Amino acid sequence: MREINSGDCILDGFGQTDSQRSRTEYNGSVFEKEIKQISANYRTRQTIISGALEHKTMGQYLEKRIDR
């Protein structure tokens, strides 16, 4: 997982499920990311951004693997 922010990053890695989580704190904001493998060809990506004022932004994506 590539981090776009400079700051401290904590990676959980792949645990009991097929998911990878990271948490980054940068300039008063918290970025929590999760990638979950659904099958060999699909995974979901979720990002939650929260700040000091508790404003939250969430993005969810479904990604498909493309063989070349």
Could you give the CA distance from residue 45 to residue 5 in angstroms, rounded to a whole number? 17
pLDDT at site 12: 53
> Exposed (0-12), middle (13-18) or buried (19+): which is 57, by Cβ within 10 Å?
exposed
CA-based end-to-end distance of the chain? 21
Taking only the tens place, the pLDDT of each residue in 8-61 is 555 555 455 678 888 888 888 888 999 999 888 999 999 988 887 777 888 999
